[in-house]
Chain A
Amino acid sequence: MALMFTATPSIKKAAALINALDASRFPLILSRILQKIHLKDERTFSEEEEEKLQSALRLSAPDLELLLQTLEFFLQQAAYHTAKPVVLGQQLQQLEIDEDKVKAIVEAWTNSAKEIVQKLRQCRLNHKQLEDINWRLNLQMAQASKTKMKLPNAMFELGIKDENTQEKEKIKLEFTHDELYAFYNQLETIQRQLDSLS
């Protein structure tokens, strides 16, 4: 498999910092990074938390940043290539990171890899997604100009969520029997396409 990491100077420096880290705190930092990895624009740690980390780990601000960024980078790359834990371990070792730290990273990755890849798969550029489907079946009995009717009617409410703005929109539609049948046929055509892909 292609090398995920090349030993650039900053990575080398980060490796040294990682090695110098206290082993007890390490897994916690890793699990936090893994939690936030699929959310593109969010910072892993808030500013307060970063300050606390600085004093707890006795690192300067730029050092802490380098450390965190490099760890995030390792895990993002592992996710991007869907790396096997063994491969990840090997490549991290080549960067001259201590064995116990490598072990911690590989373990954290093994535990959460599946979930993360799933979540990343769902990341779409296109923001509006269909989220909810609700419906109602009515029987129209009468209207202003006609009595004694028996007209079945289906009302659908599709909930569309915009991933970016978190806005929810509801599309309300109405179908008679024939209209619903036509819609169903369209959906079946789409399904055939999906089936032919797999």
Chain B
Amino acid sequence: MSIVQVVGSGGSVAADRTPFYGVRVPNEVKSLVKPLSKLDKQVFRKILQLIVSDIEGSDIENAELKSLETKELNEETLHTLYMGLHTLLQCALRHPLTSIKQEAFKEDLQDLQVPKEFHSDLASVVFGSRRPQIERNSLDSRPRLPQLENLKWRVDVAISTSVLNRVLDPTVFMEMTLSNGKLHSFEVPVSKFQELRYNVAYVLKEMEDLEKRNILKIQD
């Protein structure tokens, strides 16, 4: 029986840690390696800037990307670079800051054969000052049901109606504006209003319990 020892390419130790990009290297990142090795630092920085504005949520013009084209850097290569770096950064940004470390990140970049001179720029995007804005943007853009934008209300007391002389019964009238633009106006009898209030309070309490509970349970 012979023992065969397999050595990893970068010689890194942590064989039990999954790299930030997942178990398999994404295709866009694989095709990134060759053109990246030939890339000039200035152009790299410009591409990176565009990617970051995109991730932060601002629209970028196609023209801006096109302007980076040169004789050596044709459209196809440029697109490959853009896509590869974008995917790379997306993978890194998926992890909350508590579960990804800079050294591990740089190690993984090394494994991916990203040139060393680009490591600090990439790390500064993931760990640097622009990260909060990126986080805010990804929270804002998540799929959601409409939210209550505005609630206008009114308490009416009906004194008399055509069928009953003395009513003196209060009712709540609500007008809800939702974030999808729809306007809903309806009446809420007092008993239903109490039910609504009870339910909202109950859910609030459940939510608070949940937040207290899971902070202790789910470990990152």
Contacts and interface: CB of A to CB of B under 8 A. Distances in A.
Interface of A: 38, 40, 76, 79-82, 117, 120-126, 128-131, 133, 135, 137, 139-140, 143, 145-150, 152, 154-156, 160, 169, 171-175, 177, 179-181, 183-184, 186-188, 190-191, 193-194, 197-198
B130 to A, nearest CB: 15
The DSSP consensus for interface residues of chain B is mixed
A184 to B, nearest CB: 5
Contacts of B185: 128
A55 to B, nearest CB: 33
25 contacts: A40-B163, A79-B164, A80-B163, A117-B164, A123-B163, A123-B164, A126-B187, A129-B186, A145-B93, A154-B203, A155-B145, A160-B184, A171-B176, A174-B146, A174-B147, A175-B147, A175-B148, A177-B211, A180-B200, A181-B204, A183-B148, A183-B151, A190-B193, A191-B193, A197-B170
Contacts of B193: 130, 187, 190-191, 194
Contact of A146 (B96, B151, B186): B96
Interface residues of B, number: 62
A166 to B, nearest CB: 15
Interface in B136-165: 138-139, 141-148, 151, 153, 155, 157-158, 161, 163-165
Contact of B164 (A120, A140, A150, A171): A120
B95 interface: yes
A184 B207 contact: no
The DSSP consensus for interface residues of chain A is mixed
A173 B200 CA distance: 12
Given A126-B173, A126-B187, A150-B218, A133 B163 contact: no
Given A137-B203, A146-B138, 15 more contacts: A123-B163, A128-B187, A130-B186, A133-B196, A133-B199, A140-B142, A146-B93, A146-B96, A148-B99, A156-B199, A177-B207, A184-B204, A186-B153, A188-B197, A198-B170
A180 B204 CA distance: 7
Contacts of A79: 163-164
Contact of A154 (B90, B157, B165, B207): B207
A177 B185 CA distance: 24
B172 interface: yes
Interface in B62-76: none
A168 to B, nearest CB: 12
B188 interface: yes
A170 B96 CA distance: 36
Contact of B207 (A38, A137, A169): A137
B151 to A, nearest CB: 5
Given A128-B187, A190-B172, A143 B165 contact: no
A171 B203 contact: no
B111 interface: no
A3 to B, nearest CB: 14
